[in-house]
Amino acid sequence: MDWGGRWYDFLLYLPERWLMSKWRKALWRFVGRPTGRLLEIGVGTGKNFPFYPPNTEIWAVDINPSMLARARKKLSNATTPVQLVLADVEALPFADKSFDTVIATFVFCNVPNPIQGFREIRRVLKPEGTAYFLEHMIPMTPRKARFFDRLDPWVYKAIGDHINRRTDQNVELAGMSIHRVIPLTSDGVVRLIIAKPNKGGTS
Ligand SMILES: C[S@@+](CC[C@H](N)C(=O)[O-])C[C@H]1O[C@@H](n2cnc3c(N)ncnc32)[C@H](O)[C@@H]1O
């Protein structure tokens, strides 16, 4: 569903203040101070701008022009210059092995073919590069997972969001190895996944 950038910021104002900003801080603590080139996937309205590390060449893509337009207005929140690009994660307009770091926050619940999206991330990552995904997904507890599976078609119909994505599995199916999974909620619905491209591998 295209809520537009303005609506996105309005609807997420309180969740962002209460919870999401804490999760973002956790993600950026792990990212630390990388050098080289960093790519953000699904930048939305630029909620990660204040966390971008200095001394890094930053590119940020989104498939939705209205989100990008809102992000463009907030570029002054970024501590370092950012190149904003209209692009689909399933077909990234970047050369192979051209980024040191890739991050995405709350994106893969929307992407139609998440495995293809992760394949593209693996393609553009340098062999020694690292990807960080902060995502909501299927709970870790089997009973709750079954409930999310049943609810998913209704939620998707209502807001265009999948609540039962097997994001860890999808990352691995796309040819990346998971180095760490850090659950940020007790049921694992929100997790931080740190992954690296498989050596010389294709999925
Ligand atoms: C829930 S918002 C999250 C925005 C931002 N990452 C954040 O943390 O606030 C999901 C974002 O992913 C973008 N998105 C969805 N599918 C995409 C795709 N295939 N390629 C690139 N961006 C996509 C949407 O347009 C939207 O801006």
Q: Which domains does the chain possess?
A: 4-197 (3.40.50.150)
Let me know: does 45 contact 72? Beta carbons within 8 Å. Answer: no
Percent of the chain with pLDDT over 70: 97
Q: Which atom of ligand 1 is nearest to the CA of 67?
A: 27
Residue ranges around ligand 1 (CB below 6 Å):
41-44, 47, 61-64, 67, 88-90, 105-107, 110-111
Counting ligand 1 atoms within 8 A of each CB, the residue from 17, 102, 107 with the most, and so the one to mutate, is 107
For the four alpha carbons of 166, 136, 120 and 51, in that order, the dihedral sign comes to negative
Give the model's pLDDT for residue 44: 96
* pLDDT exceeds 60 at position 203: no
The 8-class DSSP code of residue 78 comes to -
Let me know: does 86 contact 65? Beta carbons within 8 Å. Answer: yes
Give the model's pLDDT for residue 4: 74
Cβ neighbors of 187 (< 8 A, separation 6 or more) are 139, 140, 141, 144
Could you report the per-residue pLDDT of 145-175, keeping only the tens digit for each? Answer: 999 999 999 999 998 999 999 999 999 999 9
* pLDDT exceeds 90 at position 36: yes
What global pTM score does this model have?
0.95
* pLDDT exceeds 80 at position 187: yes
DSSP assignment of 175-187 equals TEEEEEEEESSTT
Give the model's pLDDT for residue 202: 54
* pLDDT exceeds 50 at position 1: no
Let me know: does 131 contact 119? Beta carbons within 8 Å. Answer: no
